[in-house]
Structures are given as structure tokens and as C-alpha cells.
Amino acid sequence: MKALQKKRFLINAGLLTATGLITRTIGVLFRVYISNRIGAQGVGIYQLILTVYFFATTFATSGITLAVTRLVTDSIATGKSYAVKSITGKFQAAGLFVSSLVALALFIFSDDIGVGFLNDTRTALAIRVLAPSLPFMAVSACYRGYFYARRTVMKTASEQLIEQIIEIAVFMAVSTPMISQGLDYACAALALATTLSEVVSSLYSYILYRLDVKKIAPSQSLSSARMPKLLSQALYIALPVTGSSCLRSGLSMIENVLIPIGLRKYGSASSQALADYGMITGMAMPIITFPAVFIASFAMLIIPEMSEAKASLSEKSISRMGTRLLQVTFMFTIPVAAVFIVYSKRLGELIYGNEQVGFFIGVIAPIIPLTYLDSVVDGMLKGLNEQVHYLTYNIIDSVVRVILTFTLIPGLGIKGVVAVMFVSAILNSGLSLLRLLKVAKLKINFTDWILKPVLCIFTSAVLFSLISSTVISIVLSLTGYCILMRLTNGLTSSDISWLQSVLGHTGQKPIKREL
């Protein structure tokens, strides 16, 4: 990677990490606020609504961002910048058409979906309120693809931040009068906040797009901007992504609908089943996935270099990069999981004022190394042009989750929910990791990457858990972990030098030489 490209990529990765950290922090705080306002049962109902909404958004917008990014990038790279505006406009029109049809269907059949599919009449109103957001979301997805192609990630990051701020502001403004009318109106208040935030973010993206596209090339006539193969190129790029995304999203929707049904069959009351479902999916999981923002940005930093090594047929570079990335992933995720396990109840009390949520955090935390690893490995597989295997493994995982949800939860209750999570994490990450080890010719150092981190973090965490302050205890636990890793040579001077070079410190060797 050239110095200028490396610098730009480092800056973009840093910006995405910072904004991702901000948005996730705001998101967690908003979750806490929501749970305090509408309770765990209300959160559970809204999570059910979101399963349908996410499927609709996948169907309406999936593939648009990738297709626009690829085609705009190719146009600029091949000297056809005059076609950029035409490409973006055509995808915007196509996205509006498809998303409007999906939105209309969602609105018309909201009662049927709420009663016949979700088995809860309180969901129908929120589904109707969410439906109009889909066309605006499609427009934003189109512009997001354009901004990715232009390498202006700050525009996308700022759009997501503004969207979140608007969502919070609207909910806080309308929640008090609507919540008093029942949980259906409470969920509708959240839906209204989501819809209005999508409207504002799409308008914001449109303004940024109009200002930026003028910098590329003067406007051309329609005939000069016409690209005869645009339709076939778009279908080739977007259809596989859309098809696989819709299939997995549909299976995920079925799984999430089956969970509260299975809990009721187990013997839980309807309200308790929804409350447990809400605590796991809407309260515990956002905390579990919060630290992933750090490893995700790090993985994104390395993947393009792996693609470059793949193109240059450099097997040694691929092996070195893959080895380093796996090492860092294990050394990061294991202490994160240990902190959540040791301090789970205290975190539940600190964040939500609810030890039951903390209990779920502690129970689910052991799968953190697997789930985080899976996202990193999947990204590396994409970089190695192994996306077919990646999609296949995800679909297999989704099918297995649906089958296990249907069979285990009615007999095991909450234990069944946890069992499904563990089986899924082992299956998906295991298949992906085995494929990566094969194609990249990697080996895992069990002692230094897994055993030493486990022993060091649990020794430190248990020792400092005696301190009453949760925040201070966690900080000292992680500090002690780093010290113990250095003392046991689990973290070497070479490892530290490599991390500094990746982060772009001056005086270090280029990333490619160290990887």
C-alpha cells in the first residue's frame, strides 16, 4: 500500500472508530433510557417489531450501497467521471421504486403481520408508522455507496450520528403523552422517532451529495453519461448480496418470532416471555457487542492489504497478516469476555439498574471471543475472495438457529435461548475459521493467544473485583492483564512494535513489512 493510500486509510479507519464509539455509546445510553421508560416487556415488543422492519429494510435497500460504491469507483478509476451522477441517480430511482412498494405492503398488511405473524396486536401501529421510512432509507443507502466510493467516510459517519441524535430527540419529545396510552403507543413513539430520523438523515445526505458531486465533473448530456452495461453490472453486483441478505434476514426474523412463542410454550406468561426476550436482545446484547467497534475498525484496516497480497499472489504476506490479525483478535476478545463474566451483575446494576440483565450478560459473555472472531474472519474471507463460503456458512448457521429455536426453547425456556446462541457461535465461527486456516495456511498458537490471555485476565479480574467501584475495578483488571501478559511473554516487544506500526506511529516500519 502506497504511503498516501495508507495515510488516507488510517485516517478513515480512525474516524470510523471514533464515530462508531460515539454512536454506540449514545445508542447504549438510549437503550437504558428506553428500558426505563417502557420496561423490559415494551423493549421485547419493539424487538419483535424490529425483526419485521429489518427484513423489510433488507429487501428494500440491500445491495444498493455496494452496487453504487463499485460502479462509481470503477467510473472514476477508468476516467468516466461524467457517468457518476447518472449512476447515482438511476440507483436512487430504482431504490425509491422498490422501497415504496415494500413500504406500501408493510403499511397495508400491518394488522395481518401483527396479529397473524407476531401474535401481538400491539405491534401493528408501530409497523404502520415505520413503513414510510423505507424510501428515505433507500435514498440514504444510495448516497452512502457514493460517499464510500469517494472515500469521504466522515460524511457517512456524520449522517449516522445526526440520525441517532434526531431519533433520541423525537422520542423524548413524544414519549410522555404516548406511553401513557399503552405499550402499543409507546412502541409507536419509538417508530415515529426512527421514521423522522430517516427523513432528516436522507435530506442531510442529499445536501452533502449535491455539494460533493459538483467537484467531480461538469454535467453532461444524458447520452454522454449513458452506460449500456449498467443494468447487467448492477444485477451482477447487487442480486447475490440482496438474495443472500434477504434469506438470512428472513430466517433471523423467523427465529426471533419463535423465541417468545417458545418461551410461552415452556410455561412463561406472555408478559414475562416478552420481558425476558427484551432483556436478552434489547438490553444485554447491545452491551455485549459494544466493544466490537474497536476490533471491527482494526480488521477493516488490515483487510485491504490482504486483498492486495491476494492479487499479487504473495502467500507469505497473507499468512503473516492473517496470523497477526487472529492473534490480536484473541488477545482483545478474551479479556473483554472475562470482564463481562466477572462483573456481569455489577454492570447490569450500573447500566440498567437491573441485576437480571447483568445475569444475562454474564451467561452470554463466554461466546464473545467466538462472535467477535467470526466477524473478523468473515472480513478476511471477503478479502481473499472467499465470499461464497462466507455466505454459505451464514445461511447454514441461520437455518440451524431456526431449527434449534423451534425444538429447544419450548422444552428448556431461557436455557434453550442461550444454548442456541452457543451452538450458533461455535458452528459459524468454526466453519469460517477452518476455511481461513486452510486458504491462508495459518496456525493458531494456543498457548500464547488463548491460554495465557485466559489465565492473565481472570487472575487480574478476580483480584481487582474486591474493589467496590466497578469502573475502577475494570480499569485495573485490564491494566493488570496487560502487565501479566508482558511478564509471561504473551505480549512481546515485537507485538507492541507491530501494533504501533499499524496505528501509524512515526519511526515505525510500514505495515506491510511487519505483517
471 vs 347: CA distance, rounded Å: 9
Is residue 496 over pLDDT 90? no
Query: Which residues make Cβ contacts (< 8 Å) with residue 503, sequence separation at least 6?
Result: 10
The pLDDT tens digits of the residues spanning 329-376 come to 899 999 999 999 999 999 999 999 888 999 999 999 999 999 999 888
Backbone angles phi, psi at 125, to 5 degrees: -60, -45
At 237 the pLDDT is 63
d(CA 234, CA 135): 19
Domain boundaries, the chain: 32-258
Q: Cite the DSSP H helix spans in 62-132.
A: 64-77, 84-108, 110-112, 124-130
Q: What's the pLDDT score for residue 314?
A: 61
CA-angle at 27, arms to 121 and 429, nearest 5°: 90
455 Cβ contact list (under 8 Å, min separation 6) = 484, 488
- Residues in contact with 215: Cβ distance below 8 Å, sequence separation at least 6, in sequence order: none
Neighbouring CB atoms inside 10 A of 160's CB total 16
Q: Using CA atoms, how far apart are residues 449 and 406, in angstroms rounded to an integer?
A: 36
Cα Rg of the chain, angstroms: 24
Q: Is the separation of the CB atoms in 103 and 110 below 8 Å?
A: no
Per-residue pLDDT tens over the stretch 432-455: 999 988 888 888 889 999 999 999
Instruction: State the pLDDT confidence band at 224, using cuts at 50, 70 and 90.
Output: very low
Q: How many degrees, rounded to 5, is the angle at CA 304 between CA 300 and CA 305?
A: 115
Distance CA 352, CA 25 (A): 14
Q: How confident is the model at residue 312 (pLDDT cuts 50, 70, 90)?
A: low
Rounded CA separation 495/503 (Å): 12
Q: How is 316-337 classified by DSSP, letter by letter?
A: HHHHHHHHHHHHHHHHHHHHHH
515, pLDDT greater than 70: no
pTM of the predicted model as reported, rounded to 2 decimal places: 0.76
Q: Which pLDDT does position 84 carry in this prediction?
A: 82
3-state secondary structure 140-171: HHHHHHHHHHCCCHHHHHHHHHHHHHHHHHHH
The C-alpha atoms of residue 444 and residue 25 are separated, in whole angstroms, by: 33
Tell how far CA 429 is from the center of its chain.
Answer: 16
Give 9 or 252, the one with higher predicted confidence. 252
Give mean pLDDT, residues 182-195.
93
Answer yes or no: are the C-beta atoms of 111 and 178 closer than 8 Å.
no
Buried b (16+ CB within 10 A) or exposed e, 58-79: bbbbbbbbbbbbbbbbebbeee
Sorted by sequence, the CB contacts under 8 Å of residue 328 that are 6+ apart come out as 295, 298, 499
